[in-house]
Amino acid sequence: MNFNYPNGKRYIPKERENEKTIKKKKNSSFSNRGMTLEEDLNETNEYYRERKIAVIHKKPTPVQIVQVDYPNRSAAVIKEAYFKLASTTDYNGVYKGKYIDFEAKETQNPTSFPLKNFHQHQVLHMEEVINHGGICFVILRFTKYEQVYLLEAKHLLTFWERMTNGGRKSITKEEIEEKGYHLPLGFQPRIDYIKIIDRL
């Protein structure tokens, strides 16, 4: 079965990564252990759920089925499908009776976070969540420094508006450090963003 991204590029499952990538991950230092931001957040959310702190889940990426074979009446085999563009944010759930909604993004750029990493529909969704009293933010990782920040969605909306009015197309690292909250990487939980929500 073939899965393709919206840009037509073929999806290759993680278990088929080449040996060089797997070796590199095994040799990663404890500080990052070769984990992606998504893996770190999934581990953190599992920690919160198991300890009854919060219930936060990653939303599944919607898939559009293109070709299905029916070898017999009782079975259908998906032969081709595409990952659709997600219409909202990556994560949502509940904490202390409050709705939580956030997006997680990584960049290799060491000095700024490109706003092209976000989509218009995601920004509109975040604005709607804020307007309804939900807790909404983005978690940003600068991969070069292994630094993670929580930035409230209200600030992201301001930077987005600046861009749409002809301003810069990124958020500088200094702006993120000033408006956001640094999330030091830990062991358990890996990225403790709930303690920032408590402060907010």
Reading the block at residue 150, the tokens are: 């929580």
Higher pLDDT, 32 or 180: 180
| Whole-number pLDDT of residue 97 | 96
- The residues pairing with 75 across neighbouring beta strands, listed in sequence order, are 72
| Whole-number pLDDT of residue 68 | 84
Confidence of residue 85 (pLDDT cuts 50, 70, 90): low
Asked if residue 22 has pLDDT above 70, the reply is: no
Higher pLDDT, 200 or 86: 200
pLDDT tens digit string along 118-131?
A: 999 999 999 999 99
Confidence of residue 2 (pLDDT cuts 50, 70, 90): low
**3-class SS at 101?**
strand
Instruction: Quote the CA–CA distance of 10 and 3 in Å, as a whole number.
Output: 6
Asked if residue 164 has pLDDT above 70, the reply is: yes
Pairing of strands 63-72, 98-107: unpaired
Domains of the chain (ranges; CATH) run 33-60+86-199 (3.40.1350.10)
Pairing of strands 75-83, 2-4: parallel
Burial 133-155 (b: 16+ CB within 10 A, else e): ebbbbbbbbbeeeebbbbbbbeb
Contact of 91 with 58, CB cutoff 8 Å: yes
| Whole-number pLDDT of residue 88 | 82
